[in-house]
Structure 1
Amino acid sequence: MRWVFPIVVVTLLASLLGVMYLDYVVDPEKNLHNFPIALVNQDVGDTLGAPGQQKYVNFGDQVVDGLSKAVPTDKIDLRVVGLNESQQQMQSAQVYGTIIVPGDFSKRLGNLGVGSVVPGDIERPIITLQTNPRTGAFATAIAQRFGNEALTQVDALVGKQLTDQVRAQLAPPPGGPPAPELSGATRITLSHPLNIVVDQYRPLPGGSGEGLTAFFYSLLLLLVGMVGAMIIHQLIDSALGYLPTEWGPWTVHNPPTQISRLRTLLLKWAAVATLAVIVSAVYLGIADALGMQIDRPLALFLYGAFVIIAVGFTCTSVLAAIGTAGLIVNLIIFIVLGLPSSGGTVPIEATPRYFGWLANFEPMHQVFLGTRAILYFNGNGAAGLSRGVWMTVLGLVIGIVLGLVVTRYYDRRGLQRKPVGAKQMA
């Protein structure tokens, strides 16, 4: 029966939606893989020990070794780099956080050991965990959780080594008086010697929605490109007499216009291009009026118009190629598969691996990278703008080629837009 087919189609589409949208958010910790964290060791080491028993130590190297062993390599991509390189990777959204061991780390640990048995003021050595809030709130939370768990293990490891070292220094010579017993407070201090400080690298300014404005702005661009193209397709086809137009209880069906498929597509593309420029300017004005932080308005306007054109051209080409079924194809490509693989809310490294494969070519991910780079990373090409622009160019080329080739082929074969079985137009 005819009513069964649409139910089956919608059920299948709803099932795909359910899998895609729930699978990427149900258990990010379980799906965590290749999550990039930078590790910077600036410790220069120090010479510790009693006179005649001194030796050079570098506790920073021990922290690096301890973290390398404690970190699950299948989940965390721990990158041991210099400070300048770590900052470059933070500025280009290549890592979600950085652990920094300062240059005086060993010296402060040594002072802490001495201070535990000699009166005087001492400071606990610091390890800094820098988060990268411009990569998104969810990524920041994962980086902070990882840092707290890993550095807690390192704190216990370093504390054990420091306690053993102090006990060795207090050990009496053979035949001498017994060593003084460490007090409870001293043992607690030595067992957890590190001061772990969490800091934000380049905090987001106000009006950034905790890093979500880039995602929602990208979604708006994609939606207006896709939905706008579908509306333009319907209205122009109606005006040309190929589709009826309903106004309440009345139906208007204009006589078909003598026009080729190619010219019809070019007419729709012209409407999409005009729409793109207008809507991109409107979105920019709305964002500014609402207090959204925009440092590069011209770049955002141009990129927004470009994205709408690329998405709109491709959607109209798909509709020209396969007709009404193109509505479902466009929905699947741009929305069903696109949103969960965008990386805009949950980072790609915290989703099932097939989302990473989809992110290689899905339009939403490319648009998000470009928009985020403009809004949060000063238009840095390495932060995603270069990829966003070139992938949008590729999408536009695919849409143009598909539309031109298919409509030209239909016109050459005389496949006019008419009911099946109807005679050809004169």
Structure 2
Amino acid sequence: MPADFTASATAPAGTLARPTLTVLTNQSARSVGSGLARTVTPQAAENASLQVGKELTTQMGTAQAKLPAAARVLLADPAAVTVQDGHPLDSHSGLGLTAFYALTLVVVGMLSANVMSGRVDHALGFAEFEPLRQLTGGVRSILYCDAQGDAGLTRGWAMMAAGLVMAALFGFGVRGWYDREGLHRIPVETTPEKAAVPA
């Protein structure tokens, strides 16, 4: 909204100065937000202009009949609404979808790496030693094979037990090392020294 909006809207009828409401959009705020700003905001601004026009017409009363036709039309809809790019995008900005493209590349790279890693492990004979594969086999045994031990449930439980033992050994080992070194996990509160009071 321009600084002289009120002065322009209430200017004498002979001047015909129409203020302009400018809707600024930001294309880098994703296409949905930019699209909403381009459709909803101009409609709201036009409705506001018509509301101001009704109030001005009411204030003018019977005096508006003496105005020329162009002035009466301007009085009914006093503000023009324009839409502009408040933050224009660079020609190499990817239409503001850089984060989406980056995430897509990360997901595609991760999936490709997982597929290739599994294929290489399978070709070399190492696939059976993956801990997550053992857990997946245990879940599959519960869901599809009536929780039979030879369908993978026994290996899943064994891998979970081994993981628990390794995690406990590592945790207690680090805690023991902290205690031997005299490191504190919680900072020790220090009391401020009292200043000596002169006698």
Measure how far apart 1:219 and its partner are. Answer: 1.0
Equivalent residues of 1:261, 1:408 under 8 A apart: no
Equivalent residues of 2:9, 2:19 under 8 A apart: yes
One of 57, 65, 70 as aligned partner of 1:185: 70
The alpha-carbon distance between structure 1 residues 320 and 165, as it changes in their structure 2 partners (threshold 3 A), is farther
Counterpart Cα distance in 1 of 2:21 and 2:42 = 11
Counterpart Cα distance in 1 of 2:69 and 2:96 = 45
Measure how far apart 1:124 and its partner are. Answer: 1.4
Structure 2: which 5+ residue stretches go unaligned?
A: 141-156, 165-199
Corresponding residue number in structure 2 for 1:82: none
1:185-334 alignment to 2 at 5 Å? Answer: 185-240=70-125, 242=127, 260-261=129-130, 317=132, 319=133, 321-323=135-137
Number of aligned pairs? 148
The alpha-carbon distance between structure 1 residues 213 and 151, as it changes in their structure 2 partners (threshold 3 A), is same
The alpha-carbon distance between structure 1 residues 226 and 215, as it changes in their structure 2 partners (threshold 3 A), is same
Measure how far apart 1:164 and its partner are. Answer: 2.2
Counterpart Cα distance in 1 of 2:158 and 2:3 = 67
Measure how far apart 1:181 and its partner are. Answer: 2.7
Structure whose CA Rg is larger = 2
Counterpart Cα distance in 2 of 1:320 and 1:128 = 62
Counterpart Cα distance in 2 of 1:180 and 1:409 = 89
Residue 162 of structure 1 aligns to a residue whose secondary structure is helix
Residues 366-393 of structure 1 show CA distances to partners (whole Å, capped at 9, x for unaligned) of xxxxxxxxxxxxxxxxxxxxxxxxxxxx
Counterpart Cα distance in 1 of 2:158 and 2:105 = 29
One-letter identity of the residue aligned with 2:111: M
Counterpart Cα distance in 2 of 1:409 and 1:181 = 91
The share of aligned pairs that are identical, in percent, is 22
Corresponding residue number in structure 2 for 1:154: 48
Corresponding residue number in structure 1 for 2:10: 110
Equivalent residues of 1:159, 1:191 under 8 A apart: yes
TM-score w.r.t. length of structure 1: 0.31
One-letter identity of the residue aligned with 1:162: L
Equivalent residues of 2:42, 2:82 under 8 A apart: no
Measure how far apart 1:128 and its partner are. Answer: 2.0
The list of structure 1 runs, each at least 4 consecutive aligned residues, that deviate by more than 6 angstroms after superposition, is none
Equivalent residues of 1:126, 1:195 under 8 A apart: yes
Counterpart Cα distance in 1 of 2:34 and 2:127 = 52
Equivalent residues of 2:25, 2:85 under 8 A apart: yes
Measure how far apart 1:201 and its partner are. Answer: 2.2
Equivalent residues of 1:261, 1:411 under 8 A apart: no
Measure how far apart 1:238 and its partner are. Answer: 2.5
Counterpart Cα distance in 2 of 1:131 and 1:407 = 59
Equivalent residues of 1:130, 1:200 under 8 A apart: yes
Corresponding residue number in structure 2 for 1:15: none
Residue 136 of structure 1 aligns to a residue whose secondary structure is helix
Equivalent residues of 2:135, 2:160 under 8 A apart: no
Counterpart Cα distance in 1 of 2:65 and 2:163 = 99
Corresponding residue number in structure 2 for 1:137: 31
Corresponding residue number in structure 1 for 2:61: 167
The alpha-carbon distance between structure 1 residues 411 and 139, as it changes in their structure 2 partners (threshold 3 A), is same
The alpha-carbon distance between structure 1 residues 410 and 234, as it changes in their structure 2 partners (threshold 3 A), is farther
The alpha-carbon distance between structure 1 residues 160 and 408, as it changes in their structure 2 partners (threshold 3 A), is same
Equivalent residues of 1:131, 1:201 under 8 A apart: yes
One-letter identity of the residue aligned with 1:220: L
The alpha-carbon distance between structure 1 residues 407 and 181, as it changes in their structure 2 partners (threshold 3 A), is farther
One-letter identity of the residue aligned with 2:2: P
